[in-house]
Amino acid sequence: MEVASGHNMSGHHHHHKHRREETTFDGSNYVKVEHIKVQGLDKTKNDFVVHQCKDLLKAATFKDVILSCQEVKQKLEQANIFKTVSVLIDTSKGPGVSKDGLDVIFKVKEGRRYSASAHTAIGNNEGSLVLGGKVGNVFGRAERLSLEYSRGSRQSTGYNLTFSKPVFNELSKRLTVQGFKSSGEYLLSSFREIGRGAYVDYTFPGPLGLQSLRWEGVWRELSCLTRASSFPVREQCGHSLKSSLKHIFARDTRDEPVCPSRGYLVKLSQEFAGYTGGDVKFVKGEGELQLNQYLFWDIVFSCSLQGGLMKAMDGNQARINDRFFLGGPTDVRGFNFRGIGPQDSGNFLGAESYWAAGVHLYSPLPFNPGKGRWGDLFRMHAFANAGNLCNVNLDNPNFPDQLRKLQENVRWSYGAGMLLRIGRVARFELNYCIPKAAQPTDSIVSGVQFGVGVSFL
């Protein structure tokens, strides 16, 4: 493939000076990119590659060409369809070319289109075995088709078929369509949920951060886990159909998501169910804020705040599988998973509003063993967590009364422990927790608590 209007950069570039007709190229020389050639294309469509390279034709100096080539190389690598990408810059040759002209040649090798995998995945407070297969570059424009089956450590199972593609060949804008079936058991609430559905998601960069628009339709089936399930759980059993629109905004400046040392995260989501069909109707909003500050000697201070509020719009209380739950090693430590808040006969029912806050002080292992190697995977931390989960009446115009309910019966705990980072996606925590404020009906963990997850308070 060739686009009209040497210097090797496969991984890094070496500086060469080319002399042609008494002209020496350096960073400030005026140049013109005459041709862009891409060698090695097989399944990939020309228009997709042309779109990634188009800004290279705007380069006006040799330095601009070097930087633009690096950007194009990164884009082609981010597409996840090429095994290798290298770049060659040379002076233009042939009749009618400019004396300042350059040719840029990208040499690519396409990766395998078909792959199968078996791996473990980590969610919040659960690990899963995942079996799957994937077809890459389906139609030649970085599309992906995948089929996965998962089985979790908490009796959850699921499978999904997912297709995703860049929108208008822009890698930063992606459209995803998924069909899925999932099931999970919630022991402290004594119910099992099976969901069958599909969603369409469009993710794109905004002026302040990443945004996502999603429609989701789910046919949900709830059943009791035991004959001893409480009446509020039993009356929720049966089938429901949820159709919802959801918007998510996220601005993340952290240096890494699992154990950040600098930066902040702001995440806001809004969900509107029942306005596009279905028999479930509610409005829900959630927010999350996390701040991280490096202090000294690899010690990091971190603080987090989360909150959510929802209102059922059909005159009834929100369904148990739509409500918020709180408690566990990934949010308010010192309590069992989903073990805070209203309950009936030992079954936790969730609520329509919550907040949670936490502060942490992270440090390396004592005496820094394995520094720069395996020791960097471990961190020590001291923490304090607090939160509350309750139902508020949004039809009551007396908002100070509703705010007072969120301030009453606050649960909090503190402790210390050690964490192990699993790549850049998850972490294990082993903590000693001391709950200091709890309600008699809460399910507390006083002492050692183990947790695994992808996001922590």
- Every domain of the chain and the residues it spans: 2-110, 113-174, 187-453
- Output the pTM of the full model: 0.84
DSSP bridge partners of 430: 418, 450
- Per-residue pLDDT for the chain (457 aa), expressed as one digit of tens each? 655 544 444 444 444 444 444 455 556 778 788 888 888 888 988 888 888 888 888 888 888 888 888 888 888 888 888 888 898 888 877 777 777 788 888 888 988 889 998 877 777 677 788 899 999 889 989 999 999 999 887 778 999 999 999 999 888 999 999 999 999 888 889 999 999 999 999 999 989 999 999 999 999 999 998 888 899 999 989 999 999 999 999 999 999 888 899 999 999 999 999 999 888 999 999 999 999 999 988 899 999 999 999 999 877 778 999 999 999 898 999 999 999 989 888 899 999 999 999 999 999 988 778 777 887 889 999 999 999 998 887 777 677 877 788 888 899 999 999 999 887 888 899 999 999 999 888 999 999 998 888 888 8
Q: Please tell me the predicted confidence (pLDDT) of residue 361.
A: 96
Angle at CA of residue 444, ends 229 and 380, nearest 5°? 135
Domain 2-110 has CATH 3.10.20.310: yes
Choose the CATH number for 113-174 among 3.40.640.10, 3.40.50.970, 3.30.1300.30, 3.60.21.10.
3.30.1300.30
Backbone angles phi, psi at 201, to 5 degrees: -130, 135
Digit-coded pLDDT (tens) for 146-167: 999 998 877 789 999 999 999 9
Q: Which fold has domain 187-453?
A: Porin (2.40.160)
- How far is the C-alpha of 195 from the C-alpha of 236, rounded, in Å? 15
- How far is the C-alpha of 156 from the C-alpha of 130, rounded, in Å? 12
Q: Please tell me the predicted confidence (pLDDT) of residue 1.
A: 62
SS3 string, 414-456, reads EEEEEEEEECCCEEEEEEEEEEEECCCCCCECCEEEEEEECCC
Q: Please tell me the predicted confidence (pLDDT) of residue 6.
A: 41
Digit-coded pLDDT (tens) for 201-252: 999 998 999 999 999 999 999 999 888 889 999 998 999 999 999 999 999 9
CA distances from 73 to 46, 134, 249, 310, 356 (A): 16, 24, 29, 45, 43
Q: Are 333 and 382 in contact (CB under 8 A)?
A: no
Q: Please tell me the predicted confidence (pLDDT) of residue 47.
A: 87
33-43: burial string, b at 16+ Cβ within 10 Å, e else: bbbbebebbee
Task: Please name the residue that has the structure tokens 């999932």.
Answer: 182
Q: Please tell me the predicted confidence (pLDDT) of residue 397.
A: 67
